[in-house]
Structure formats: C-alpha cells, structure tokens
Amino acid sequence: MFKKVLIANRGEIAIRVTRTLRELGITSVAVYSDADRNGLHVMLADEAYHIGPPPSKESYLNIDKILEVAKKAGADAIHPGYGFLSESPEFARAVKAAGLTFIGPTVENILAMGDKLASRDLMKKAGVPCVPGTDGAVPDAESAIQEAKRIGYPVILKASAGGGGKGIRVVHDEKELPGSFRMCQSEGLNYFKDDRVFIERFIQNPKHIEVQVFGDTHGNVCHLYERECSMQRRHQKLIEESPSVSVPPDVREKLGAVAVQAAKSIQYVGAGTIEFIFDNKTKEFFFMEMNTRLQVEHPVTEFVTGYDLVKEQIMVAAGKPLSFKQSDVKQKGHAIELRICAEDPVNFTPNPGKIRKYRMPAGPFVRLDNCAYPGYEVPIYYDPMIAKLIVWGSTREECIQRLQRALAEYMLTGIKSNIVLHKNILVHPAFLEGNYTTQFIDQQIAGKKHRELFMFVDDDIFLISAAIEAYNNAKSRDVGDYNLASKWKRYGRLKSMRNL
C-alpha cells in the first residue's frame, strides 16, 4: 500500500481525497499556487508544497513542477482529483515514467476516451447507442452549415477535446452558426490546444443521465447505477441525484449493462463515468462521452451505494481487486447534491471575493464537501464552486425536505452565491415531480428578477437593517448626540411632514 500520496488539485476535491487518505493512514501531500496559500486544502493536508503562480497553466497544470514536488516529498502515488490534469494522458504517462503510481485509469483508457470523435467510433463498434452527428471534425464554418443542414437544427457544436462546459455551443439557426463555430474553435484551442469541432443533433427535452463504472486490474468491471444531472446552467451541472425518477427499472438495468459493456470494451481501470443523453419521452439513451476520472458528483453515488469511491480508487491503483461484486451493489434511498458556487444566482456570472460570514449546514444525513471559511477570499483564477451540499433521504421526498432544511441553515455573506437559486429550485413543481430537463434553468429561472428569487425574505428587512447600520455609523463618527445636535433640523422636518 502507498505510504504517501500527492494530490494534484485544490479546493473541495483535494480535501475530499485528503480525508480518505487520512482514514487509510496514508500521508497526504497538498500542492498550492500563490492564490491558494490560504486554501483549506493546504491546512487540512499533512504536507503542503508551493507549485507556482496563480494561473493554472503555471501551477496546477504544470506537470514538471508537480512531479518535482512529488519526488521531493517522497510520494509514491498521485491522485489528480477532477479537472486540471485528471484526464491528461501526458500527465498519467509522466507520473508512470517518474516511477510513481497514477491513481486513475490507464494511459490507454484516457487516450481512448479523451477524443470525443474517436471515443464515439469506439463506442459504436462496441454496440453502444450514439447520437446522430458528423463523422469527423468539421473544417470550417462553410461545411458546418452544410452538415448542420443535413443533421437538422437545433445542433450542438462541440470542441473535440472540450469538457466541463467549455467549448460547447448550441445553435438554433444558420445565422448563429458562423459566430458560434468561431467561439467554439477558439475555446477549444485555448483550453485544450485543439480547435477541431464536431456537430451533433441537439436533442430537445433531454435529460442528462450518467452511469458510474469501476474497473480493476483483474478484469472486473461493475457499475454503481445512474446519476441524473439534468439541472444545469451554462452547460455545467448544478444539481445531481441518484436514482433518477425518469429511468424505469428495466431501462436502469439496460443502462448499467451498456455502461459495463462500454467500459469492458476498453479494459477500463478505476473510476469512470459514462454520460448519456436521455430522451425522457422515448426513454432512449445515447452515449455522449466517458469521463475517465472521479466526478464532482461522486458523493451521491457514495450515499446510495455505501462505497467510498476514493478509497476504491486507491485500492485499485494499488493492484487490489474491487471490494464488491456487481450483485453486491444496491441503490438504497435517494441522494441529491447541490453545487454551491460563488456566482450571481440569476445571470450566473462568477462573483469571486471575500466571504464574510459562513455558517455551514449540519445534522443527520447531511454532508458538506467544502473549501470555504469565514474570511476566505474566493480566488478569481479557478472554478467558482466552493462547496457541495449532499444529502441522503430514505425517499426522494425526504431527501428534498432535508435539503431545504440544510439550506435554511446555510449562511454565506459578502459575496453572491447560488444558495438562493437552489432554494427556489427545491420548491419548483417541475423539480419536485422530477420531470425537469437540461433546459429547466433557461426556461424557468433565466430572466427572473433577483427579488423574485428572494421570496423567502420579508423585503422590509433590507432597508431597515441598512438604515440602522447607517445610523450607527453616523453616530460613531459624530462627537455629540446626534438626536440632540440635529434637534432643530429634525423639528423642522417633522413639522413639514405633518403638513403634508
């Protein structure tokens, strides 16, 4: 077993991994950029090393520096978390070449699934259903127009190496196409050094359903059932739950079987997720992509199955077989995760800055994977997600009630957050019934005024509190008794008011 593991990541996921490492008696090594010296992940790890300036390219994406630090620390394995280098074949290869273990899939696995076009071909061959689209990358806007015409609008443009909401654009008509194509290429080039773009049918009223899979080095592959991640904004997930109320039992079995079949076809090792686009009317599902890493939303699967996925990752990386067989895996109760982000609750623009007050929810069946604290400055350089609130209930209804309760306990001030957006979603009939789609936010929330979202507060509170504070400030600046000093002025004003 490993003695010391370096976590090549930051924020809540670095803390998540640190926790399991500590439980296993493995020394944890954190890394941090200049912007993260005050990060909670640094404080909670056993050891911490500086790896460079704030921009990710010079720190969390700097392979040489991370390996240098890993050697210096004497680590024998590296956990990449999600994002950053987690799906970089160069990194996985370099870790191996340095004589360390990469806690994740094989280089071949990452390569096979890293390219969206190639992975789709691979899945087609393995008998996994795929969405209609272009067979290869589209060279220019002109041919994009031709292809889109053939596939039928609306279409979705995807940067071949894209992910995490980057390099994805939905296009509704030909007029929008050239501009979106250009942006898609630019994002692909900037984030993934790859400007190839392909086009697919954009399925209307779609749901995002994904299946957690796990493989080991002994040829075992299991699935841990589905997660529904249809609640999204800017093509990024906001709420995830397991099980999905839209998936009937027979489709659930089929989803699991197809996912295992897909993972087996590439001899998959470690934690992975196969994402499907799910047509809620026909209950058809199509392969979208496979994420060859631990997902942000893995805790909902941990809650309903009872397995520690990070622990399983570490064991598999150490060459041990999976701790469970397929027949052991049961979905028990219901779990939902809310992503808490430092962003405007209506227009979703990031709102980095200093957190003032911070009170975290707790209590039965509540888990908060968090990296914030009072006085913490959310850096501008990274993803605005500061915490994940995950709750378990014996039924979906109980789970939602518990989430509402937990959100009522959650206090975060000083910056804008989407906590209030979650409160609104949790009482929305479409969410309660479970028949929401990936377009829910666009259709139900976008265009709302902030005040509509703030329905949980008596509007008087704001001005009364601001007035009392302004009064106290003025009083503290003034030498004399303000009520007394302005007595004549006040008298005059009151008098004129009475005359009104």
Which residues would be at the binding site for other proteins (CB under 8 A)? Answer: 55, 164, 166, 179, 183, 186-187, 190, 234, 345, 349-350, 352, 356-357, 359, 380-384, 407-408, 410-414, 416-417, 419-420, 423, 450-451, 453-454, 456-458, 460-471, 473-475, 477-478, 482-483, 486, 489-490, 493, 497
Bridge-based pairing state of the strands 27-33 and 4-7: parallel
Contact of 11 with 371, CB cutoff 8 Å: yes
- Which residue lies nearer to other proteins by CB, 165 or 306? 165
| Nearest distance in Å: CB 181, other proteins | 13
- Which residue lies nearer to other proteins by CB, 166 or 448? 166
DSSP reduced 3-state for 355: coil
Contact of 80 with 94, CB cutoff 8 Å: no
Q: How far apart are CA 303 and CA 326, in angstroms?
A: 17
Q: How far apart are CA 284 and CA 286, in angstroms?
A: 7
| Nearest distance in Å: CB 185, other proteins | 11
- Which residue lies nearer to other proteins by CB, 97 or 463? 463
Q: How far apart are CA 244 and CA 485, in angstroms?
A: 66
Residue 293 catalytic? yes
DSSP notation for 230-289: EEEETTEEEEEEES-TTS-HHHHHHHHHHHHHHHHHTT--EEEEEEEEEETTTTEEEEEE
Q: How far apart are CA 187 and CA 143, in angstroms?
A: 19
Contact of 401 with 425, CB cutoff 8 Å: no
Catalytic residue among 10, 233, 293, 396: 293
| Nearest distance in Å: CB 99, other proteins | 33
| Nearest distance in Å: CB 57, other proteins | 11
Q: How far apart are CA 75 and CA 64, in angstroms?
A: 15
| Nearest distance in Å: CB 446, other proteins | 16
Q: If phi over 0 gives left and psi between -120 and 50 gives alpha, with beta otherwise, what is residue 164?
A: left
- Which residue lies nearer to other proteins by CB, 272 or 345? 345
- Which residue lies nearer to other proteins by CB, 83 or 133? 83
User: Active-site residues: which are they?
Assistant: 293
